[in-house]
Structure 1
């Protein structure tokens, strides 16, 4: 790794968002090129994107849902910060689009925990006319089941502290978002990264990000990097119907695992009639006015701009309001989605069968080893005295009993025996123990249609 020449601590770039502004693409570039970036003196603390997500959750003070797996993120942010402070790297990058939602206390904690490192903010932004439909789709991917018009009424016309508006403006109102960091990060260390318009070179956003962080963009290989999958209007409407079918009792972590991450991001894209969700013409005037307000604020605040502020102004597309998807098209997308899921099931079954075959071969090898072990043991035990002594000791000494039971279970499991014989020694020992409790019910997305 290229180190800071004078031993100074790393310069830290917190890429705090915003959602739906190329963050998935940039994170893909970073995490697909960790070795090359490390050689260039760039540290990605935590060692994985998941570790940085846990740090973000800790920083925001989020609480896990009951039964949520891998939910121990307490202290995760402090772990990231400690790794940065101890590093000899030239630059450290932490990227999570929802760091933009931290409150003022979280912003203060983040900067203080990284001292004495110099902290910079990177906030990526896009034109609001394209952002609104994209954010509505993201809401649908997170279990929202209302249509675009209702969502727009909440975000544009409703109070900012209620409904969909609360989250949207918390992460997309540039003065408010950066204002929460203002007491700790001066304007010259705030970088607004504009998202290029459609049709621009695919690597342009990365080149802008690399330039402001001080990375040679050519050290990264972008060939395997994916952008966040976009859904067509038809596919989004199908997902809304699925959301209506998901039971209210299903936990969000389960929804994210199967509906968001599997179906919406991997299976559904491309299954429906093409055609993006467009901003209704009646909202175009408001979007243009709001975009000019945000651009003027960025100019007046003196933030560094990586890109072109004109890219934040909505293009003059004109046209009529987008048509609602036909019911037949939604049904066709559903059928194609089901086939896609069946293909996934088939692939998993083949993988399971391969694992079973591999496991069977390993079990045969283990059986041979156990048989050899017993043969050698029989040769050593010319008299029954050692066995009798072991049995007597195990009945008098709990520790020896546990060792004997553990050995017995090991041998039986290596042989592939599912249940012990009635006469075999039990783990509860001579005094017995309570039976194990019944396992908790497996969480499901919906109980509708369960066998009666």
Structure 2
């Protein structure tokens, strides 16, 4: 029976994708050691976090999404091993009241909350990039994360500041049940991040494979500035979080622009100063809270940056990036078209075959809602027609029955067969007609 549950609640952009991929890749190893990785699919964890946070977007999703948290709790309840790990970064958005309800649902277990964080200056840049992927047009130099009090902000100080997340999620827990994992500086390598996380979740004795792919979801400074400008037009033509996530984030940002450049984006002076102030307050709150720190709180201090800012990108660089981006999109559309297109000579493709397949998959996902609507409309019409046919059949049977009855009633009784029916009809005619 499960005895201990580790809730890794964030924060986003703190190496969570890497950690989750290591967990998923080593699911069998974890289970053999008695540790359940909660959630059969990452989507289950996403929906569970939305349910915990009472996200209004759930109203547009199937019933299975709205009950995802309940299913995860049942999965924990049914586990025969001693521990379970649940990891998803946007649990960090939850309020103290919502977190308390989660901990009440898990009151039968010894619950430990794990909060991960990174260099807060870099966190600001990463948060700005994520907002770009959903149509943001504000330049980095003029953008600021929303304050911790902004309850619905997924990319503000509410999630980026580990002290606030630790306080909300640890409000009903002993301090030694709240763990803060600091992401090491890049030169330490990803294995150090896993070592710290494993120490927080009591997984440090397991022989796990750390050989997992690390998708480059970050754009270079040129590509990010290009997307920001394109968003000025796209955001009016592509609306809704689902459509923006498919077309702007997944297709344009991650599939096309991210592979075209990886030059790091600098941290503007004003944002670095704000991040430094948040860091100073955060370490005071973490220390006074008595939380367990895995790593060094100094790793969260904004490091000096000599990288270029988006405003320093030249028009020539943007033009070149736009040409390559358009070329990639044209190739994508060619590959999606039906039937072969004659060419004089094969041309090299700027988009690798594997990535073209992912782009096609994205197109299928994006078209899904429209196709599903049409299918539902046709299905409803078929159901209506079937009901009309059934009603017509029942009416015809009634008419035929009545016709037979009328015929028998009007026939000369002498011509009808003797028997129960004949005698009954003769009596009816004598008494009623």
Deviation of residue 81 (structure 1)? 0.9
**TM-score (structure 2 length as normaliser):** 0.72
Match of residue 230 from structure 1: 218
Please say which structure displays the higher CA radius of gyration: 2
Cα distance in 1 between the residues matched to 2:140 and 2:70: 39
CA 1:266–1:101: 2 relative to 1, 3 Å: same
**1:80 pairs with 2:40:** no
What residue number does 1:271 align with?
A: 260
Q: CA deviation at 1:217?
A: 6.7
Q: How far apart, CA to CA, are the structure 2 residues paired with 1:97 and 1:85?
A: 22
Deviation (angstroms), 1:82 = 1.5
Matched with 2:113 is 121
Q: How many residues of Structure 1 are paired with residues of Structure 2 in the alignment? A: 348
Match of 1:239 in 2: 227
The answer as to 2:389 corresponding to 1:429 is yes
Deviation per residue, 1:237-295 (Å, 9 max, x gap): 122123222226622111112221232222211314x4222112354444334322212
Distance 1:350 1:203 in 2: 45
Q: Describe the shift of the 1:241–1:321 C-alpha distance in structure 2 as closer, same or farther (beyond 3 A).
A: closer
Question: What is the Cα-based RMSD across aligned positions, in Å?
Answer: 3.1
CA–CA separation in structure 1 for the residues paired with 2:199 and 2:331: 42
Provide the residue aligned with 1:362 in structure 2. none
Distance 1:84 1:233, change over 3 A: same
Matched, 1:301 2:301: no
8 A Cα contact 1:82 1:114, kept in partner: no
1:135 corresponds to which of 127, 130, 140: 127
Cα gap change, 1:91 to 1:320, in 2 (>3 Å) = same
Matched, 1:338 2:326: yes
Deviations 1:49-84 (A, max 9, x none): 111111111111112378x56574222111111210
Which residue of the partner structure matches residue 104 of structure 1? 96
Over residues 59-113 of structure 1, what are the superposed CA-to-partner deviations in whole Å (9 max), with x where a residue is unaligned? 11112378x5657422211111121022112221111111011112211111111
Is the aligned partner of 1:211 residue 2:211? no
Q: 1:328 to 1:72 in 2, by over 3 A?
A: farther
Question: Within 2, Cα distance between the matches of 1:41 and 1:164?
Answer: 36
Partner of 1:395: none
Unaligned 5+ segments in structure 1 are 1-6, 353-425, 434-452
| Cross-structure match for 2:185 | 197
User: TM-score normalised to the size of structure 1?
Assistant: 0.69
Retained in 2: the 8 A contact 1:29–1:225? no
Equivalent residues in 2 for 1:27-176, closer than 5 Å: 27-64=20-57, 68=60, 72-152=64-144, 155=146, 161=149, 167-176=155-164
SS of residue matched to 1:234: helix
